[in-house]
Structure 1
Amino acid sequence: MAQTPSLGVPTHSLYVGDLHPDVTETQLNVVFSSFANFLSSVVRRDCFGRSLCHGFLNFRTSQSAQLAMESMNHTPINGKVIRLMWYEHNPEARRRGIGNVFVKNLDDSIDDKKLHMIFANCGLVLSCKVAVSEDGRSKHYGYVQFDSETSAQNAIQKLNGYKVYGKALYVTSFVPKGQRMLTDDEAKYTNLYVKNFEKHVTEEKLSEMFSKFGKITSLLISKDSDGVSKGFGFVNFENPDSAKQAKESMNGVQLGSKILYVSRAQSKSERQQEQTKRTKGVNVYVKNIGDSVNDDQFRMYFSQCGRVISAKIMRDTRGISKGFGFVSFSSTPEANKAITLLGGKKLFVNVITSEHIGPSGLPSPPAPIPNNA
C-alpha cells in the first residue's frame, strides 16, 4: 500500500489531469504502484466531494516520477486518456502562462500524443493538450507547455506555418483568458474572410466550394476600380455552425497554385485592437539605412533575429528612402534579439512601445537622441 506523506505535496510530484470523474485515489494507487518509490495519489474534489478531474501523484525520487510520466502519459484510465506533467510549484508562472503556446488549425487525427511528437524537437515539453468536444471530437486547437519561455519562442519560430497533414499550423504565445480577445471557438459568427486566391477565381467558383457547408446568404470578391479581383473576399452563411465548419475545413486548402487562408471576418474595432496588440512592444525602429536598400533586403537582414511580420522603409512622395524604417517581429524576445545582435553595427535600432503608435496605427519614430547623450 502506498504511504501517504504527512506534510503537503512532496518535491517529486506529477500533476495528473483529464481524469474520468469516477477515478479514485485507490484506483490511481493500483495503476501506479508498479513504479518504484511511488508514495501516494490525491484526487482534487469540490466542497460536495465531486471529482475536479485532476490531482497529484507523489514519488520519493524524481527518476521514478520521470519513468512513470514517460510510460503512462496519454494512456486511458476508465476509457479517458490522462495527461501527466511535472507539478508546477510556482502559481504565478502558471497564471502568466510562461512557456505556454497556443496552436490551432490541427488535423482531426492529431491527439495529445501526436501533438507532443510535433513539438518535442523545440524543447522540453511538459504538457500537451488538444481541446475536444463532449463527444471526443477535436476542436482543432490545443496547448503546449514547455519548461522555459525560450523553448516556447523556438517552437513559435519553427512551427508557425509548418504543414502537418496538409494543414498549416498557427502557433503563438498563450495569452491568459482575461487578457485576450474572444477566440473563434468562443464567438458566434457567420461571416468569413477568404484571401490568397488567384485573380481569375470567380464568385461562382467560391460559391461552389463553400456552399457544401450550408446556405450562403452573401458572397463578395473585393475588386479594384478596373474590376480586377484583389484576391480576397467574404462569404456569409445563414448558420454559425456552417461558417465554423467551412473555416476549419477550407483554411489551408490549395486552390490552383495558392493556399487559401480562411478566418472569421473581424469587425473594425477587433482589427484595431489586434493591430494595437501586434505592434505593442514588438516593433523595432531602425535608422541609418542605406539609400539603395529595399524592403525585401531590409526584411531579409532582420530575419536572422526571428520571424518578421512586416518590414518597411519610410519614403518621401518621390519614393526616395528617408533612411529609417520599422520591423515588426512576432514576439518581444525577437525584437530584443535585434537590439542585442545589431545595435552595435552601423544601423541604429530601438524598440517601439505603445506610446510611439500614432493615430494612423503606424509607429512614429522616437525622439532624436542628443549628440551629447
Structure 2
Amino acid sequence: QARKRHKGEGDGLLPEEDMEVEMGLFGRSGPEKPKTDPANPKEKASTSRKDIPKVFHDSSKDHVTVFVSNLAYSMADPQEKLKELFQSCGEVAEIRPVFSNKGTFRGYCYVEFKEEKSALQALALDRTAVEGRPMFVSPCVDKNKNPDFKVFRYSTTLEKHKLFISGLPFSCTKEELEDLCKAHGNVKDIRLVTNRAGKPKGLAYVEYENEAQASQAVLKMDGLTVKEHVIKVAISNPPLRRAPERPE
C-alpha cells in the first residue's frame, strides 16, 4: 500500500488510473502495428498495400463483360491500352486490371461494356497480337454457378476451309446463315455458338468444301450488314494455345 500511495503521489494518478493508462497504451499500440504470421509472410505485404484495391466482379454483369488474359506483365497502362483495343466493339464502361499484392500487373483484365452486343463482338478479338503475344478473350462466366462451363473448344489445326463469323444478330437462324453463305461455295456444315442456356451469342463457324471457297466467302461477306448488324468474317486458323489461367 505504501508503494501504491507513493506511486500515486509521484505521478498524480491513483493506482487504478495508472493501470488503465498502462493497459490503454498496450491496447492502442498493439492493433496499430500489423501482425505478421510467421507461417504466412505474404500477409504483411497485403496489409501494407492498402492502395491496391481487390478486383471485385459483379456476376450479374457477365453478359456485358469479357475476361482478357495472356497479356504482358510489363504492360505499362493496361486500362488505356485495352480501351484503345476494345472501343471499336462499342462503348467501354470499365476496365479492371488484376494486380498482385506487390502492385505488379498479373496479365488479366475484366473489360465491361455498356451493351451485350459489344461484349459479343469483343470475342472476335481473341488471339489478337498485343505487344508480341496473343491476347485471349473469353466469355465471362461465374464458375461457381456454372462449374462445368468450357470456353470455346478451338481447334488447334489449320482450318483454312472454315470461317469464323461474329457480330451476327441473335435472331439469325442456321437456315438464314446458310442461304447467305452458300452463294459463295458448297457449305458442308454450320454451327451457331450458344451459351449453356441455348441462347445465341452472335457467333458461328461455317465449313466450306475447300480453302478457295472459304477465301472467296471472306472477301464477299466480311463487313456485310445483316439485319442492321455488321458482321466480321475471318478464316478459322487458330494457333496452339493453352486454356487461359484464371485469377484466384
TM over 0.5: no
Which protein is richer in strand relative to its size?
A: 1
TM-score, normalised via structure 2 length: 0.41
TM-score, normalised via structure 1 length: 0.29
Give the greater-gyration-radius structure (CA): 2
Larger RCO, structures 1/2 (Cα 8 Å, 6+ apart): 2
